[in-house]
Amino acid sequence: MDYRTGSSSASASASSHPSGSPAPNSATDLSRGTSGPARASNLLNACRVIPPNDNENKPLWRYVELMEKTGKGQGGNVRFRCRLCGNIMHGSYSRVKAHLLKVGSNGVAPCPKVTIDVLSQLHDEMARAVVVAERNLPKDIPLPAEGASRGKRRAVSAIESSFNSDTRSNLDALIARMFYTAGIPFNVARNPYFRKAFMFACNNALGGYSPPSYNKLRTTLLVQEKTHVERLLNPLKSTWPVKGVSIVSDGWSDAQRRPLLNFLAVTEDGPMFLRAINTEGEIKRKEYIAEKMIAVIEDVGPKNVVQVITDNAANCRAAGLIVEQRYSHIFWTPCVVHTLNLALKNICAAKSSSGDAYEEFQWITEVAADASFIKNFIMNHSMRLSMFNEFRKTIKFKHSKSKRRF
């Protein structure tokens, strides 16, 4: 779907004429003297460039060159050049369609190169695309409850009919199918909002209601919910000037293994998530971290901030010093847990300068090494892991995984 990535990828695919130029004269010259439909098909063949990630449902993208993406996110608008007439336009697929199929009143001029024959061939291509799209639609497989009742009709008891039990089991089957076909994790069924949504729908007469669309979910409703959450957090924010804020930052990775840098504002009334920055492909130099920290401090209001807390890694420490230099009243504080962790590691390390301490604490190193060895022994082999999982309820053993990324 997302092949509107710019002119470079579109023009990278095989094209017999320089990309971006209007319809080559050779195509029309060669076809001089031939019939209208043949000329039209020559013109279309010469102008058609299959984009790298071609969408069979939207064949008209093949007749325009994508120049740049101007919309935000996955959808959005693009600037494109018609390969037939060379005109540059702006918009989404509906504009491409309006231009090539000469549909008026769509904010775009019809293509001067599209003759009646070209138009009819483009319409044919669109019709073929519709067939493909319909073929790719999920087939209407009957629900298990429907299938079971189709074979033999049995008498419906009064209780069953008063509780509408057939309709209930149909709804169950529909919900189940949504989970299975979309790969939704089963624990979503425990989500209170999922349950609330269905209960709300059932307890209110909403004839003809259809759930929010893909676009409504990612735009209007998302903005609405974000604004609402921000409004709910206002009472907490109002305590910032009085009580002072600690900005706490740490690195971790999310479920898709993206390295994230997160920032929280902590007061005695509780922590509040501020933002997470995707640091993919960035080197976490002190200047980079300091820049992100300063942006957060400016958001919160420098006079509300008392201190920034990070772990004790050299780059974070240096970033903390940059912040301290910039704001004389803000302190950098190393995370106590991380500091203790480092201290313990240092005491137990064989290369520790103090021989006495090592003598005293080396048993910790040995125990830790044994534990790590056993963990790897089990986790790295599927049979051992399955035995472990079978008996884990009886041996009550948990391993913790550090999520630190710095």
Note the residues at the interface with Zn ion (CB under 5 A). Answer: 82, 84-85, 111
Rounded CA separation 109/107 (Å): 7
> What is the smallest separation between the CB atom of 143 and Zn ion, expressed in angstroms?
48
Nearer to Zn ion, 109 or 171 (CB): 109
Helix (H, G, I), strand (E, B) or coil at 201: helix
As given in the structure block, the two tokens for residue 236 are 């907490």
Greatest CA separation found in the chain? 100
Query: What does the CA dihedral 381, 382, 386, 389 come to, rounded to 10 degrees?
Result: 60
Nearer to Zn ion, 81 or 284 (CB): 81
Nearer to Zn ion, 85 or 101 (CB): 85
Nearer to Zn ion, 23 or 309 (CB): 23
Buried b (16+ CB within 10 A) or exposed e, 243-252: eebbbbbbbe
Nearer to Zn ion, 100 or 335 (CB): 100
> What is the smallest separation between the CB atom of 173 and Zn ion, expressed in angstroms?
49
Query: What does the CA dihedral 86, 90, 95, 99 come to, rounded to 10 degrees?
Result: -20
> What is the smallest separation between the CB atom of 95 and Zn ion, expressed in angstroms?
11
- DSSP 8-state class, residue 303: G
What is the side-by-side strand order in the sheet with 88-91? Answer: 64-69, 78-82, 88-91
Nearer to Zn ion, 89 or 308 (CB): 89
Nearer to Zn ion, 4 or 81 (CB): 81
> What is the smallest separation between the CB atom of 68 and Zn ion, expressed in angstroms?
18
Contacts of residues 330-334 at CB distance under 8 Å and 24 or more positions apart, as own/partner, are 330/297, 330/302, 330/305, 330/306, 331/306, 331/307, 332/307, 332/308, 333/246, 333/307, 333/308, 333/309, 334/309, 334/310
> What is the smallest separation between the CB atom of 94 and Zn ion, expressed in angstroms?
15
As given in the structure block, the two tokens for residue 194 are 């999922």
Identify the residue whose tokens are 């990278």.
12
> What is the smallest separation between the CB atom of 125 and Zn ion, expressed in angstroms?
15
> What is the smallest separation between the CB atom of 22 and Zn ion, expressed in angstroms?
8
As given in the structure block, the two tokens for residue 149 are 């009742």
